[in-house]
Amino acid sequence: MKRTKIVDIFAPELIGNQVSVKGWVRTRRGNKNVQFVALNDGSTIKNIQIVFDMEKFSDEQLKPITTGASIHVIGQLVESMGKGQSAEIQAEQLEVYGTADPDSYPLQKKGHTFEFLREKAHLRPRTNTFGAVFRIRHHMAIAIHQFFHEHGFFYFHTPIITASDCEGAGQMFQVTTKNLYDLKKDENGSIIYDDDFFGKQASLTVSGQLEGELAATALGSIYTFGPTFRAENSNTPRHLAEFWMIEPEVAFADLNDLMDLEEEFIKYCIRWALDNCKDDLEFLNNMVDKGLIERLEKVIDTEFVRLPYTQGIKILEEAIAAGKKFEFPVYWGCDLASEHERYLVEEHFNKPVIMTDYPAEIKAFYMKQNADGKTVQGTDVLFPQIGEIIGGSVREENYDKLMKRIEELNIPMKDMWWYLDTRRFGTVPHAGFGLGFERLLLFVTGMTNIRDVIPFPRTPNNAEF
């Protein structure tokens, strides 16, 4: 008999039919006459209740049905008398696939802390909260592809192993097949890579942007969606060493086009979550963050503030003058700390903010230089609770200006010749951004630690599972 997924079982026309369900036991309760099992198969946050009439089943048969056990039940789907569910199954046949010894199965009925569950990342998808989070993660990935597909962007695959450093922040993980116990060095003590796998030093990418620009200046509008890696030793609730990034890149786009795209894209994704993840969002709204759905609805109805950095600094300085205390100093040229970003977003404007025109010194080499000689056309999208969710910019398309910046920053040219060719041959204005997928998921799920929105987080001192 064909299995019915629990997500499909509540269809009214199935009532009265014989059904076959398979899943993992969440709970069992009852008395000597009747036993109730809540079964979940991961297809939905909802459980199906299975009713065992103890005249038809023995205690011995039901003994292995403990929390975490996997079973197969065939029975009649009937309307439920009980509260909280529309249908239940009157069990006729039971097959136990696998038991889960209550003395050692870690996910018992009582709620566990997210910290505890991080240690059990191999099993936590079986909990309500992580089931909901990972289903939403799937739906958000679909939303992203759908948005770009609808808008005529091509999905372009950029390499994961690279010999160039896009962000120039020196946070790359090396990729090598060299024997680390026996490294060949030159007279200055530098490692010689000639005999390494790629014949040069190679790393895991921090961003697909540079290759994305090559594609945008050929296909017009592209996006990447893949894993990126940063060896930054920041043990915060918002940083991962391995995270997924979405990077659209658009030829002929200027700063306003860029900001419009950022805002439209992020609103589309949030609207998608509200439309497609209703049950999971309602669960998270009840159990994790009571303000979640309201916050999501508010963001899609709000026009984001567009704020030049210089004006942002002025607002922060005025706040300080009026008595506001920050841990880190504020001055023109400073890299804003998350407390500053959150003040602007959560207290001053109470809206998402797209900050623009940052000092060149605190941004990457590729950003388009403004006529003032001091600022560049970079944009960060700042979100309540999250801080920076998107980083993007208009790109410097002028060969001479870009070269000058590369020289000022001592970026090794030999790795960049191919990038510079886009500026030598048919250069065009273009712009793009990077959205941290897990930061978006933090916002959409209401979870507060980035380790809890990716199945197997990679952070300093943690590569388990």
Binding site for Mg ion (CB under 5 A): 391
CA angle 226, 230, 232 (to 5 degrees): 155
Please name the residues in contact with 183: beta carbons below 8 A apart, sequence gap of 6 or more.
Answer: 191
φ and ψ at residue 243, rounded to 5 degrees: -140, 165
Q: Which of 305, 319, 448, 297 shows the shortest CA–CA distance to 385?
A: 448
Of positions 165, 167, 396, 397, contacts ligand 4AD by CB under 6 A: 167
Q: What are the DSSP calls for 11-59, one per residue?
A: -GGGTTSEEEEEEEEEEEEE-SSEEEEEEE-SSSS--EEEEEETTTS-H
d(CA 271, CA 265): 10
Applying CB under 6 A, the span of 29-37, 45-53, 125-133, 242-250 interacting with ligand 4AD comes to 242-250
CB of 250 to Mg ion, least distance (A): 18
Q: Does 75 bind ligand 4AD (CB under 6 A)?
A: no
Q: How large is the angle between the packed helices 278-287 and 292-300, nearest 10 degrees?
A: 130
Q: Which is nearer to ligand 4AD, 166 or 355 (CB)?
A: 166
Window 175-214: residues binding ligand 4AD (CB under 6 A): 207, 209
Give the range of 20-28, 157-165, 412-420, 430-438 binding ligand 4AD by CB under 6 A.
430-438
Instruction: State the binding string over 112-151 for ligand 4AD (x if CB under 6 A, else -).
Output: ----------------------------------------
Q: Are 246 and 434 in contact (CB under 8 A)?
A: yes
The string over 327-364, giving b where at least 16 C-beta atoms fall within 10 Å of a residue's C-beta and e elsewhere, is eeebeeeeebeeebbbbbbbebbebbbbbbbbbbeebb
Return the number of the residue (134 or 243) whose C-beta is nearest ligand 4AD.
Answer: 243
| Residue 240 lies near ligand 4AD (rule: CB under 6 A) | yes
Applying CB under 6 A, does 439 fall inside the site for ligand 4AD?
yes
Q: Considering the complex, what minimum distance in angstroms separates the CB of residue 256 from ligand 4AD?
A: 16
Which of residues 126, 230, 363, 458 is near ligand 4AD by CB under 6 A? Answer: 230
**Residue 457 touches ligand 4AD, criterion: CB under 6 A:** no
For residue 383, what are the contacts with CB-CB under 8 A and spacing of at least 6? 299, 345, 352, 389, 439, 443
Question: Is 166 an interacting residue with respect to ligand 4AD (CB under 6 A)?
Answer: yes
Q: Tell me the torsion sign for CA atoms 26, 29, 32, 35.
A: negative
Taking the complex as a whole, how short is the minimal distance between the CB of residue 213 and Mg ion, in angstroms? Answer: 17
Distance in Å, CB of 410 to ligand 4AD, minimum: 19
Compute the least distance from the CB of residue 75 to ligand 4AD, in Å: 46
Provide the binding-site residues for ligand 4AD, judged by CB under 6 A. Answer: 166-167, 207, 209, 230, 232, 239-240, 243, 245, 247, 388-393, 432-434, 436, 438-439
